[in-house]
Amino acid sequence: MPDEHSRKLATDRRRKLLKRTAVHVALSVVLLTAALGTVVPVSASENTLRIDPPAQTVAQDGTFTARVVQHADGPTSGVAATITFDPTLVQIESVTRGSAYAEAAVFNGASQIAISAANTTGSLIGVAAAFLAPDAVPAGDAVFLDVTFKAIGCGIVELGLPTGVTDAAMLDGSAETYGNLLSVATVGASVETCVISSPAPSGSPGPSTSSTPSPSVSATPSPSPTPVPGNSIRIEPASTRVDRGATFSVRVVQRADVPTGGITATIVFDRSLLQVVSITKSSAYAAADLRQSASSDAIAAANVSGVLNSVKAEFPGRDSVPVGEADYITVEFRAIGCGRTPLLMPNDATDSSLLDGRDASYGRPLPIRTVKGVVQVCDTQTPPTPTLPSGNSIRLGSFYTGVVENGGFTVRVVQRADVPTGGITATIVFDPAILQVVSITKSSAFAAAPFFQGGGASAITAANASGKLNQVSAAFLAPGNVPAGDADFISVEFKAIACGETPLFLPNDTADSALIDGRPATYGIPLKIQTVKGVVQACDPEAKPTPRPTPTPTPTPVATTPPGPAAPGGPVPPPDPGITLPPTVGEPPVVPASPEPVAEPVPVASPAPEAAFVTSTRSATPGPDASAMNRVALVGLGVGGLIAGLMVVMALAAAMLAGMIAPVVIARLARRR
C-alpha cells in the first residue's frame, strides 16, 4: 500500500506539473505572437472589439462600468485588449472577466499592480485571456471584460481600444487553425462626467438626481486659463506678450486635491525665441531640494536643447504642500527673437509629476493634467528664409505645414550626415490639444535595421496623452549603416483635432535626439548634431485636404554595408523647399521663428542671435568632455534599450521552446515510472 500510495502521489504531482507547464506554454505563445507578429493574420472583417455602451453619463464621484465585448465570425481561443482613458477624470476600480472567459486557463494584465499603473498612465495595457486546445468561445458576441471606473474629475472621457498586435488581438479557435491571429477592428466609447440629472417633463418619469450636483461640461471645451479640475501643473500667466530683448517671468503652479510631497516639471520652448535666465523656488517649496535640476548647468543645457528638463523638488523628510494651489518655481526668460512659441509641459511620468503627501501613500505619483502657456515676442513675425544644413542634423521634412480643420497630414523625420550612420533616435514634442499621432512608418533607409522601438501602438497612445513622441530609435549591427547624405528615418501621420498653431520640436538633448557613427573605426559613437523644428497651423484657410491614403514618402537609399568611410563629393539630395535648416558653423546664425497663421505663409529672412548648438563662447554650457559623456549615455538609452528589447523577445522564444519540450520529457519519465 505505501508503494501504491507513493505512486499515486507521484502521478498527481506529474499531472499538476504538466497542467502548469501547459498554461505557461499557452501564455508564452500568446506573448510571443504579440511580440514577433509571426502568425499571418486571417482576413476577418467582422471580428471586432468594442466598448458597451458607446456613450454614458455619470455624476461627479459616481461609478460606471464599461464592458469590452468581442464579436467574431468563428470560434475564438483567446483575446487581448488595451484600454486607454484620461486618468485625471476617471480611475479604474476593478477589472472582472466576462462569463465567456471565466474558465480560460490564461488570464493576465488585470492585477492590482496593473490597475495602479494604469491609473497613473491612463492605459491598462495588454489584458489577455486564452484557452488551451480545443476549448474556445463560440462565434458571435461575447463579453471579455467588465471594467468599473470612478469619476474623479469633470469632462468628456474617451475610452479607447488601440489596435495593434500588442494591444487588440483575437486568436482563432477553429480546430485546424487554432491559435492563429485574427485581424480585429475596435470601437471605443465616451463618458461625460459630472452630469446633473434634471427632472423629466410632466407625465414622464425622470432619472434620479445626483447627490452632488455640479455644472455640466461641454463636449468641446475651448482653451481657457481657468485651472482644470483635479490635480494639475500649469503655466501662469497662460499668455504673455513681450518685446524682443525684454525679460519676463512665468510661474509653474500646481493644483492638488490632496497634500503633495514632491513635484517634477518640464518646459519645452523654442530656443531661437527664448532663453532661460534663472529659476527661483517658491516659498511653498523653500525647504525642498531641487538638487542639480535648476543649476546653471541645467539652464545652459536647456538653452541649447530647448528643454528645461525635469526640474524636481523633494522634501528631506515627509513634509508636504497643503491641498489647493501653490507656486512651485518662477522661470525668468529673455526674448531673443520675434515669433510665437508655446511653453509645453509634456504629461509624461519622467517629465511632469505630483507626489502624494499623505502619510499612508507618501511619495506615490498622482494622476495629473498639464496646461501649457504661450509667449508672443514682437507684434509681427518674419520667418527666416530656409538655409542649407551644415554638419549632422535631424529635421522635419517641411518647416511649415498648413492643414484643414480635422485634417490629416504626414511629416518626415530626415537625417543629414557627413558620414555613414549606424543608428538614430528622435523625439517630437507637440501640443496634444491640437494634434494627435495616427501612425509611425519606418523608411526604406532603415528597413533592414534589426532594432526599432518607440513606434508601436502603445508608444503612440502614450504620445497622444503626454504630447511627447519619445525616443523613436533604430539601429544596425556592425557593419550595417545608412550612407552619408540625406535619408528619411520615419514618417509620422498626425490628425488635427482642434484649431491652432503648434511647433513640432525636436529637442537637441542627448536622451532625445542622436545620430550614431556608422564608420568601421568609430562604429556606435554618438555624433554631434543639430535639430530643426517644424510648425503646424491647423485650420489654415489656405490648406487643402490631404489625399487618403497618405502618399508614400519619397524613397530613400536602402541600408548598405560600406567598405569604409563615404567618398567625398558624392551627390547629396537637395532639401525640400520648405525646410528651415541649421546655420553653417562660423557664419552668422539664422534660426527659425514660428509663423503666425497668415494668408500666405511664405518664410521671410530674419536674423536672430541664437546659435543652434553649443559654442565655446557660452561659458555656462558644459564643455566637450561633459558633452561627450552625455552622448555616450544616449547609447545606453537608445541602442541599449533596443538590444534589451530584442533580448526580451529572445527570452520569450526560449521560454516557449522550453515549455513545449518540457511536457514531452515529463510524459516520457511518467511512462518509465
Distance CA 355, CA 419 (A): 45
Is 10 part of a structural domain of the chain?
no
For the chain, report the end-to-end CA distance as a whole number of angstroms: 17
User: Mean of the pLDDT values across residues 13-24?
Assistant: 42
**Helix runs in 368-492, H state only:** 457-466
Is 92 part of a structural domain of the chain?
yes
- Look at residue 60 in the predicted model and tell me its pLDDT: 85
- Look at residue 317 in the predicted model and tell me its pLDDT: 82
Q: What is the pTM of this model?
A: 0.46
Residues 653 and 596 in one domain: no
Is pLDDT at 4 greater than 90 in this prediction? no
Is 9 part of a structural domain of the chain?
no
Is pLDDT at 644 greater than 80 in this prediction? no
- DSSP label at 213? -
CA quadruple 205, 209, 214, 217: dihedral positive or negative?
negative
Q: Please report, rounded to a whole number, the percentage of residues in the chain having pLDDT higher than 70.
A: 67
For 420-475, what is each residue's pLDDT tens digit?
999 999 999 999 999 999 999 999 999 999 989 999 998 999 999 989 999 999 99
Domain with 259, as residue range(s), is 232-377
What is the identity of the amino acid at 284?
A: A
- Look at residue 238 in the predicted model and tell me its pLDDT: 86
For 284-340, what is each residue's pLDDT tens digit?
998 988 878 889 999 999 999 999 999 999 888 889 999 999 999 999 999 998 888
User: Mean of the pLDDT values across residues 507-523?
Assistant: 90
- Look at residue 228 in the predicted model and tell me its pLDDT: 57
- Look at residue 277 in the predicted model and tell me its pLDDT: 95
The overall average pLDDT reported for the chain is 75
Number of domains in the chain: 4
- Look at residue 518 in the predicted model and tell me its pLDDT: 94
- Look at residue 30 in the predicted model and tell me its pLDDT: 40
For 188-247, what is each residue's pLDDT tens digit?
898 988 876 544 343 334 433 333 333 333 333 334 444 556 899 999 988 888 888 899
Q: How many CB atoms lie within 10 A of CB 625?
A: 8
**Closest-CA residue to 380 (of 346, 341, 420, 338):** 338
More reliable by pLDDT, 644 or 215: 644
Residues 150 and 71 in one domain: yes
Distance CA 360, CA 364 (A): 10
Is 8 part of a structural domain of the chain?
no
- Look at residue 629 in the predicted model and tell me its pLDDT: 34
**Closest-CA residue to 251 (of 218, 223, 280, 211):** 280
The DSSP element (H or E) to which 126 belongs, if any, is strand 123-130
Cell matching residue 571: 551627390
Residues 125 and 164 in one domain: yes
Is 522 part of a structural domain of the chain?
yes
Residues 241 and 189 in one domain: no
Residues 652 and 584 in one domain: no
Residues 415 and 370 in one domain: no
Is 177 part of a structural domain of the chain?
yes
Place of cell 509645453: 344
User: Mean of the pLDDT values across residues 116-120?
Assistant: 89
Q: What are phi and psi of 504, to 5 degrees?
A: -110, 95
CB 457 within 8 A of CB 184: no
Is 654 part of a structural domain of the chain?
yes
- Look at residue 588 in the predicted model and tell me its pLDDT: 35
Is pLDDT at 660 greater than 70 in this prediction? no
Residues 312 and 448 in one domain: no
For residue 70, the domain's CATH number is 2.60.40.680
Residues 331 and 440 in one domain: no
Is 26 part of a structural domain of the chain?
no
User: Mean of the pLDDT values across residues 378-389?
Assistant: 59
Residues 287 and 347 in one domain: yes
**Helix runs in 37-128, H state only:** 112-121
Choose the final residue of a domain: 327, 346, 377. Answer: 377
- Look at residue 393 in the predicted model and tell me its pLDDT: 92
Is pLDDT at 122 greater than 70 in this prediction? yes
CB-based burial, 157-188: b 16+ in 10 Å, e otherwise: bebbbbebbbbbbbbbbbeeebbbbbebebeb
For 34-50, what is each residue's pLDDT tens digit?
433 333 333 334 789 99
Residues 87 and 112 in one domain: yes
**Closest-CA residue to 57 (of 162, 124, 154):** 154
- Look at residue 446 in the predicted model and tell me its pLDDT: 94
For 59-101, what is each residue's pLDDT tens digit?
988 999 999 999 999 999 999 999 999 998 899 999 999 999 9
Distance CA 167, CA 80 (A): 7
Confidence category of residue 381, pLDDT binned at 50, 70, 90? low
Confidence category of residue 33, pLDDT binned at 50, 70, 90? very low
- Look at residue 388 in the predicted model and tell me its pLDDT: 65
Residues 185 and 110 in one domain: yes
Is pLDDT at 574 greater than 70 in this prediction? no
Residues 431 and 407 in one domain: yes
